[in-house]
Amino acid sequence: MVLAAVRPDAWNFPLLIHVAGAMVLVGALVLAGSSLIFAWRDGGGTMARLGYRTLLVGVIPGWIAMRAGGEWIASKEHLENSDLSWIGIGFSTADAGAVLIIIATILAALAWRRAARDAGGGALGKIATVLVSILIVTYVVTLWAMTTKPS
């Protein structure tokens, strides 16, 4: 049995922004990934467009909220320069993830435009799908690190 942790009230809002952003980020990644997989299988432009738009209006805003909330709560807890491994995992996967998200969004946009013109784009969509899948796995590991806090 463990004692319930009590955190200062001032930490709650930044934590809410961080967690809500992370949830929207992962939810949107699942929607984008599913749409891109369906586009991959069916070859249609509709699902490719949904995958691209989800990355643009779901994943990117979710990432911004998650990252900003994370920085805010870390500063409240004075953990910005911490050597704790779970903090390191959080910051490194968030920042590396941003690069993959931007690349996946650009590739999904190109894949959708090419699919809409019946000019293929399948390979670009497939690469975007793989990147989104990598991001989902990475953020599950990050979630494990954030909740179990390995030292």
Partner 1 sequence: MYDWLLFLHVTAAFFLVITVVVLSAPALGYATDKRLLTIATVAWGIGGLGTILFGIWLAIYVRGYEVWDGWVIAAIVLWAGATELGRRAETGFNAGEGEPARARAAMFHWLRTGVVILLLIDMIYKPGH
CB of 107 to partner 1, least distance (A): 20
Minimal distance, residue 122 CB to partner 1, in Å: 19
**Residue (81 or 148) nearer to partner 1, CB:** 148
Distance CA 19, CA 116 (A): 36
Q: Name the strand (E) or helix (H) holding 130.
A: helix 122-148
Sequence-separated (6 or more) residues with CB below 8 Å from residue 146: 86, 90
If you ran DSSP here, which 8-state letter would residue 82 be given? -
Q: Which x/- pattern, by CB under 8 A, does the window 25-64 give for partner 1?
A: -xxx-xx--xx--x-------xx--x--xx---x------
Instruction: For residue 148, state whether it binds partner 1 (rule: CB under 8 A).
Output: yes
Distance in angstroms (rounded) separating the CA atoms of residues 130 and 140: 16
Tokens of residue 129, six digits: 């799908």
The residues that touch partner 1, with contacts defined as CB under 8 A, are: 1-4, 6, 12, 15-16, 19-20, 22-24, 26-28, 30-31, 34-35, 38, 46-47, 50, 53-54, 58, 140, 143-144, 147-149
